[in-house]
């Protein structure tokens, strides 16, 4: 009643020797297959070093390269040898030279002895597994693969395409249903010998010789034919990255591996001295007898794969610089942009930051230096307010700002006077919330004391810029959450839009605004607009402002009192 | 890439290699221990001039990390650097009095040494004031990184230059030999970097950090490049084309992911800003041997007279590589 171990070895022979001794010392017969590509001058000392151990045998050497039949042939030979020479073996454990037993071998023996008829082999049909690399799932069983994927990629791809075009399909031998799974399994003598002594084995072997990556499908498929009880999982902890390459364990994984309760792990970095020392020489076996539970390791590695394929959105750095459209969101967090508000209200920034609790900056994109909240010259991440540095890379300025302050919502003012370099970037950014009071840029013009000719020119310029920005916001590519009011609309009932904007920011749960910002006094603004019209410049972004003596806001009530902005009661 | 571009880049690369071959005559060996280099050794290459005070810690740092052999080009040092290095068992030293500028800022010499000794080795090309950090560098030796890169069939590994500076004036804390320079220059800028893509050579062009913030705030396009690819599985057909910022063939420059993911990357902690810097900047300005007519040193010179404080309220204090990873200055990629 014992476990036999088949080891497929091709590098790090010193470590393989150590592990073979470990298995053997626990009373497991071991058969080692060493890749025929290993040069003799390295193989011979390895073999001689193990001569003093009685239970270790070497099987016929095959040449094994990734994804080829050699690995299956090697496994077959080694298993035959193992079963022939060791009649007492009940389970055969297939492992590699870079596998490391994590729990005492005794525990594995007990575990398997308690499940004498169970085959531990991961085995699923092609339609059920998402992890095939290269887009070949079912086709790996119906096409031919004479070229190496690793070294003859072009020929490989061409031949696959050629077969698809021609409509070539191989016949799958009768009686088997292709299954896939991890290469590392543990089968019972019954199942394994049935596979090896199958009367149709020649036919199967001939078929699988041309299947792609037969080492992940030969035993997985045939075990389905014979096994009485398959437990579709591998006893070997082995994780693959997004390219299908195994993750490697290092010294700093020691605690993780200890807590995983798995029997065997691969692949171990050959120089991970601490791991080998801890698991091969600790007689204690600090772990309790529990079911394997690799959950934590799974999480770490799947996080790594996600980082490699998706990355942290909003981050631009030396090893993540997505092409346009592949950023997964231009920025990393939500932020709000206000255009026209600070023109209309006094101390809008102060009010907004009191109301919502987020960090509210002034005009970040000019004109002039960026106005960071609190008038700081430098903020998080040592991002400076200098106009020259900002205009050097405005887009990076925006993404850096949002990335550096992640965890705290940012809001800032924008205007047609500012650099428009990021206008489209913000419009296309799903994280942006953009609120515009169109035409409000005219208020500072009206309040300024400049010659009308200059004002008229400036008004025309700003109007053109703002309408381009609004076009961007309304374009089909825009993904930002956009609210646009004309100034006339806004001034008519200012609280409702403010309430909407603050609600959308979702910062405070309070349902209604308790404090209102003070609107500037711009009596006579309607007349100002009319003057612009009279001069031949048509200000249309403000909406319909009446030209009467006063203006809609602050409007006087019939009794002569100035009307206050009112709150909408829900 | 069209065939014309491919041809041009190939020609450029061959020209660089030709230059390296020609300039090898400028080097004379002080101590050549390259025979000691074994098959899978990790090699470090460096050009230096008058860096004696930094060398002991530099060598210790990289020995600890697992560099097996150092190859130095000494550009006419007068402070005993050459003699010190020649006395180290794992160093090979060549010396030259030729012009630093005319050898493309030392790259011709380094390209030659790489071609001659670096073939099929992992080669780290750093200056004596640059300290390489990579993911897990506190628990895994460099051999682990190189083996992993080999397994993933990655040939080059990027490490952005991160300028470190002290808090307070540069001259306030004198550096003494053997000291960890990060004890003094332990601050850095975490998030003011800008990136442009160089479509010709395929590399990124990163600028920013304290040098852009203080010295080039009026003319940011002239700020120095911070992108570096210091660790390469070398082949004798490769060539560094512009310092260690980019290589040819240009596939080696593709150290970043274009489709939203993150590749693994490290950082080079650049400890230029110590008390030794003021004297150095003066000397280099006089020699006029640096990039872009030494405009960098001219800018330094102007500001340094005021003994500036590079530190600001939002400077970040260096802790370890994990901090850099979280800040997004480097990445573990899919190495876990």
Q: Sheet harboring A264-266: ordered strands across?
A: A100-101, A264-266, A236-238
CB contact, 8 Å: A308 with chain B? Answer: yes
The pLDDT value recorded for residue A535 is 84
CB contact, 8 Å: B102 with chain A? Answer: no
- Using pLDDT thresholds of 50, 70 and 90, give the confidence band for residue A557: very low
The pLDDT value recorded for residue A270 is 93
The pLDDT value recorded for residue B18 is 94
* Chain A residues near residue B309 by CB distance under 8 angstroms: none
Q: What is the 3-state secondary structure (H, E, C) of chain B?
A: CCHHHHHHHHHHHHHHHHHHHHHHHHCEEEECCHHHCCCCCEEEEEEECCCCCCHHHHHHHHHHHCCCEEEEEEECCCCCHHHHHHCCCCEEEEEECCCCCCCCCCHHHHHHHHHHHCCCCEEEECCCCEEEECCCCCCCCHHHHHHHHHHCCCCEECEEEEECECCCCHHHCCCCCCCCHHHCCCEECCCCCEEEECCCCCCEEEECHHHHHHHCCCCHHHCCCCCCCCEEECCCCCEEEECCCEEECHHHHCCCECCCCCCCEEEEEECCCCCHHHHHHHHHHHHCCCHHHHHHHHHHHHHHCCCCCCCCCCCEECCCHHHHHHHCCCECCCCC
Instruction: Indicate which of B137, B204, B334, B335 best probes the interface with A, i.e. most A CBs within 10 Å of its own CB.
Output: B334
Q: Angle, to 10 degrees, between the axis of helix A525-534 and the axis of helix A452-474?
A: 100
Q: Is A401 helix (H, G, I), strand (E, B) or coil?
A: helix
| A118-127, A148-157, B109-118: which is most confident | B109-118
Nearest CB among A307, A322, A379 relative to B333 is that of A307
- Using pLDDT thresholds of 50, 70 and 90, give the confidence band for residue A508: low
CB contact, 8 Å: A393 with chain B? Answer: yes
* Chain A residues near residue B159 by CB distance under 8 angstroms: 318
Q: Closest by alpha carbon to B181, among B263, B266, B268, B101?
A: B268
The pLDDT value recorded for residue A1 is 56
**Distance from C-alpha of A347 to C-alpha of A350, rounded to nearest angstrom:** 5
Residue A552 has pLDDT above 80, yes or no: no
Q: Do B140 and A250 touch (CB under 8 A)?
A: yes
Q: Is residue B105 part of a domain?
A: yes
**Both tokens of residue A278?**
């801890």
Q: What separation in angstroms does the CA of A310 have from each of A314, B159, B254, B335?
A: 11, 21, 17, 14
With beta carbons less than 8 A apart as the criterion, state whether A518 and A536 touch.
no
Question: Residues of A149-185 as b/e, b for ≥16 C-beta within 10 angstroms?
Answer: beeeeeebeebbeebeeeeeeeeeeeebebbbbbbbb
CB contact, 8 Å: A379 with chain B? Answer: yes
Nearest CB among B191, B207, B258 relative to A322 is that of B258
Question: For B202-227, what is each residue's pLDDT tens digit?
Answer: 999 999 999 999 888 888 998 999 99
**pLDDT above 70 as % of chain A:** 92
**Both tokens of residue A373?**
């909240």
Counting one residue from A and one from B, how many pairs have CB atoms under 8 Å apart?
176
The pLDDT value recorded for residue A550 is 46
Instruction: Find out whether the peptide bond into A367 is cis, omega within 30 degrees of 0.
Output: yes
Residue A290 has pLDDT above 80, yes or no: no
The pLDDT value recorded for residue A132 is 57
CA distance B50 to chain A (A): 31
* Domains of chain A by residue range: 2-309, 335-534
Number of domains in chain B: 1
Instruction: Find out whether the peptide bond into B109 is cis, omega within 30 degrees of 0.
Output: no
Q: What separation in angstroms does the CA of B157 have from each of A47, A418, A463, B107, B146?
A: 37, 40, 50, 18, 9
State the residue range of the domain holding B93: 3-327
Residue with more model confidence, A119 or A329: A119
The pLDDT value recorded for residue A570 is 43
Which residues are CB-neighbours of A155 under 8 A, at least 6 positions away?
A: A147
Question: For A196-255, what is each residue's pLDDT tens digit?
Answer: 998 989 999 999 988 888 888 899 999 998 888 999 888 888 888 877 788 899 999 998
Q: Is residue B332 part of a domain?
A: no
Average pLDDT of chain B is 91
Average pLDDT of chain A is 86
Question: For A66-84, what is each residue's pLDDT tens digit?
Answer: 878 899 999 999 999 999 9
Question: For A26-81, what is each residue's pLDDT tens digit?
Answer: 889 999 999 999 999 999 999 999 998 888 999 999 998 887 889 999 999 999 99
Residue with more model confidence, A564 or A378: A378
Q: Is residue B172 part of a domain?
A: yes
Nearest CB among A271, A319, A397 relative to B255 is that of A319
CB contact, 8 Å: B212 with chain A? Answer: yes
- Using pLDDT thresholds of 50, 70 and 90, give the confidence band for residue A560: very low
Which residues are CB-neighbours of B153 under 8 A, at least 6 positions away?
A: none
Residue A527 has pLDDT above 80, yes or no: yes
Task: List the CATH code of the domain at A335-534.
Answer: 3.40.50
Q: Is residue B335 part of a domain?
A: no
The neighbour count for residue B14, using CB atoms within 10 Å, is 13
Question: Residues of A39-77 as b/e, b for ≥16 C-beta within 10 angstroms?
Answer: eeeebeebeeebeeeebbbbbebbebeebbbbbbbbbbb
CB contact, 8 Å: B99 with chain A? Answer: no
Q: Is the ipTM of this complex over 0.90?
A: yes
**CATH (domain of B229):** 3.90.550
Question: For A136-191, what is each residue's pLDDT tens digit?
Answer: 677 888 888 888 877 888 998 899 889 989 988 888 888 888 888 888 999 999 99
CA distance B196 to chain A (A): 9
The pLDDT value recorded for residue A565 is 53
The neighbour count for residue A433, using CB atoms within 10 Å, is 22
Per the document, the length of chain A is: 570
Instruction: Indicate which of A238, A319, A402 best probes the interface with B, i.e. most B CBs within 10 Å of its own CB.
Output: A319
Mean pLDDT of B316-334: 94
CA distance B172 to chain A (A): 22
Q: Closest by alpha carbon to A248, among B326, B334, B120?
A: B334
Q: Closest by alpha carbon to B221, among B209, B207, B204?
A: B207
Q: Is residue B334 part of a domain?
A: no
CB contact, 8 Å: A11 with chain B? Answer: no
With beta carbons less than 8 A apart as the criterion, state whether B85 and B55 touch.
yes
CA distance A374 to chain B (A): 14
Q: Is A454 left (phi over 0), alpha (psi -120 to 50) or beta?
A: alpha
Mean pLDDT of A4-31: 92
Q: Angle, to 10 degrees, between the axis of helix A273-281 and the axis of helix A13-25?
A: 10
| A153-162, B113-122, B291-300: which is most confident | B113-122
With beta carbons less than 8 A apart as the criterion, state whether A96 and A184 touch.
yes
């Amino acid at each position: 009643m014992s476990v036999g171990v088949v080891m497929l070895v091709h590098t790090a022979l010193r470590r393989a020797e150590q592990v073979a001794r470990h298995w053997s010392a626990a009373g497991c017969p071991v058969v080692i297959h060493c890749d025929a590509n290993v040069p003799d001058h390295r193989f011979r000392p390895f073999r001689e070093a193990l001569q003093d151990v009685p239970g270790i045998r070497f099987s016929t050497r095959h040449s094994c390269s990734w994804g080829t039949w050699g690995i299956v042939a090697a496994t077959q030979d080694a298993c035959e040898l193992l079963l022939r020479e060791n009649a007492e073996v009940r389970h055969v454990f297939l492992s590699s030279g870079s596998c490391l037993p994590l729990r005492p071998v005794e525990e594995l023996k007990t575990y398997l002895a308690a499940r004498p008829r169970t085959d531990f082999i991961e085995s699923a049909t092609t339609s059920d597994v998402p992890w095939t690399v290269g887009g070949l799932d079912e086709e790996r069983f119906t096409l031919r693969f004479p070229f190496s994927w690793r070294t003859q990629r072009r020929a490989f791809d061409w031949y696959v395409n050629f077969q698809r075009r021609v409509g070539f399909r191989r016949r799958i031998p009768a009686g088997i249903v292709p299954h896939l799974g991890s290469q590392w399994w543990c089968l019972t003598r019954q199942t394994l010998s049935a596979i090896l002594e199958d009367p149709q084995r020649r036919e199967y072997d001939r078929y699988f010789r041309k299947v792609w990556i037969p080492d992940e499908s030969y035993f997985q498929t045939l075990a389905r034919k014979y096994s009485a009880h398959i437990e579709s999982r591998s006893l070997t902890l082995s994780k693959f990255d997004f390219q299908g390459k195994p993750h490697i364990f290092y010294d700093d994984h020691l605690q993780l591996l200890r807590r995983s309760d798995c029997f065997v792990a691969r692949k171990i970095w050959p120089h991970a001295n601490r791991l080998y020392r801890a698991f091969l020489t600790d007689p204690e076996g600090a772990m309790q007898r529990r079911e394997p539970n690799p959950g934590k390791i799974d999480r770490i590695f799947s996080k790594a794969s996600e980082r490699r394929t998706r990355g942290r959105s909003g981050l631009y750095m030396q090893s993540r610089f997505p092409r346009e459209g592949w950023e997964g969101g231009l920025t990393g967090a939500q932020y709000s942009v206000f255009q026209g508000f600070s023109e209309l209200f006094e101390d809008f920034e102060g009010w907004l930051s009191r109301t919502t609790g987020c960090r509210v900056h002034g005009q970040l994109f000019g004109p002039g230096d960026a106005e960071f909240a609190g008038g700081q010259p430098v903020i998080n991440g040592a991002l400076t307010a200098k106009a020259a540095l900002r205009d050097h890379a405005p887009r990076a300025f925006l993404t850096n700002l949002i990335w550096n302050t992640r965890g705290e919502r940012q809001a800032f003012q924008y205007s047609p006077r500012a650099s428009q370099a990021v206008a489209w970037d913000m419009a296309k950014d799903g994280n942006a919330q953009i609120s515009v009071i169109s035409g409000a840029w005219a208020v500072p013009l009206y309040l300024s004391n400049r010659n009308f000719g200059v004002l008229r020119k400036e008004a025309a310029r700003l109007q053109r810029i703002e309408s381009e920005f609004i076009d961007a916001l309304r374009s089909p590519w825009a993904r930002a959450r956009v609210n646009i009011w004309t100034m006339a609309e806004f001034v008519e009932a200012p609280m409702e839009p403010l309430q909407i904007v603050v609600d959308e920011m979702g910062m405070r749960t309070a349902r209604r605004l308790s404090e209102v910002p003070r609107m500037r006094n711009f009596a006579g603004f309607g007349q100002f607009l009319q003057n612009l019209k009279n001069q031949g410049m048509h200000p249309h972004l403000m909406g319909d402002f009446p030209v009467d003596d006063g203006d809609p806001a602050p409007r006087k009530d019939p009794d002569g009192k100035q009307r206050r902005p009112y709150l909408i009661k829900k | 890439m069209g065939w014309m571009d491919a041809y041009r880049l190939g020609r450029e690369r061959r020209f660089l290699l030709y230059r390296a071959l020609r300039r090898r005559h400028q080097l004379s060996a002080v101590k050549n221990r390259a025979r000691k280099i074994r098959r899978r050794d990790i090699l470090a290459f460096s050009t230096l001039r008058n860096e004696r005070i930094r060398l002991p810690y530099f060598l210790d740092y990289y020995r600890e990390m697992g560099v097996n052999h150092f190859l130095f080009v000494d550009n006419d040092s007068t402070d005993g650097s050459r003699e010190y290095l020649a006395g180290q068992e794992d160093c090979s030293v060549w010396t030259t009095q030729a012009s630093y500028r005319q050898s493309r800022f030392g790259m011709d010499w380094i390209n030659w040494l790489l071609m001659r000794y670096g073939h099929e080795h992992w080669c780290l090309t750093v200056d004596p004031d640059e300290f390489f950090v990579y993911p897990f560098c506190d628990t895994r030796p460099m051999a682990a990184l190189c083996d992993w890169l080999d397994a993933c069939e990655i040939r080059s590994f990027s490490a952005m230059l991160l300028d470190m500076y002290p808090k307070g004036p540069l001259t306030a804390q004198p550096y003494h030999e053997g000291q960890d320079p990060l004890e003094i220059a332990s601050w850095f800028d975490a998030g003011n970097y800008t990136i442009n893509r160089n479509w010709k050579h395929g590399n990124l062009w990163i600028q920013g950090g304290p040098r852009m913030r203080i010295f080039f705030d009026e003319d940011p396009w002239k700020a120095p490049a911070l992108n570096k690819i210091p660790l390469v599985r070398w082949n004798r057909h490769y060539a560094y084309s512009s310092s260690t910022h980019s290589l040819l063939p240009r596939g080696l420059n593709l150290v970043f992911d274009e489709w939203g993911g993150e590749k693994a990357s490290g950082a080079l902690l650049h400890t230029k800003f110590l008390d030794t810097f003021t004297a150095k900047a003066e000397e280099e300005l006089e020699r006029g041997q640096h990039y872009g007519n030494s405009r960098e040193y001219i800018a330094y010179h102007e500001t340094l007279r005021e003994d500036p404080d590079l530190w600001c309220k939002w400077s970040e204090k260096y802790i370890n590589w994990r901090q850099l990873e979280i800040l997004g200055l480097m990445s573990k990629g899919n190495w876990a």
